[in-house]
Amino acid sequence: MADHIRIRKAEGVWTVRSGGAVLGESANALELSEGDYPPVIYFPRGDIAMAFLDRTEKTTHCPHKGDASYFSIVNKSGTIENAVWSYEDPKESVAAIKDHLAFYVGDRVTVERV
């Protein structure tokens, strides 16, 4: 793993909400810390209501994690474009985040420990 990336089990139960809906809740989330960036919570895909997510064509590349795929959140409040990302085939050094989803947090998406 790159020296500046750390992955560990996120303590407690975590939820992600958008548009008044709970998109997921997990006691098996991971916390990824990378350099000076704020930690990011990665939810197991099986703990997320995938019916709220639509895959987009957007992709990005991280030299340390690999290629990220993106999803938009679709709920009663509308669509939040490219609000979710996933490393579906991550580099071996960060293989723990495979089959996990991370969310851009903002005024329309919250991720919190309950």
Return the pLDDT at 86.
98
Return the pLDDT at 77.
85
What's the pLDDT tens digit per position in 24-64?
999 999 999 998 999 999 999 999 999 999 999 999 999 99
Return the pLDDT at 3.
74
Does this model's pTM top 0.75? My answer is yes
DSSP per residue, 37-80: SPPEEEEEGGGB-GGGEEEEEEEEEETTTEEEEEEEEEETTEEE
Contact 30, 90 (CB under 8 A): no
Query: Domains in the chain, start-ordered, CATH in brackets?
Result: 5-113 (2.170.150.40)
How far apart are alpha carbons 6 and 34 in whole angstroms?
6
What's the pLDDT tens digit per position in 71-89?
999 998 899 999 999 999 9
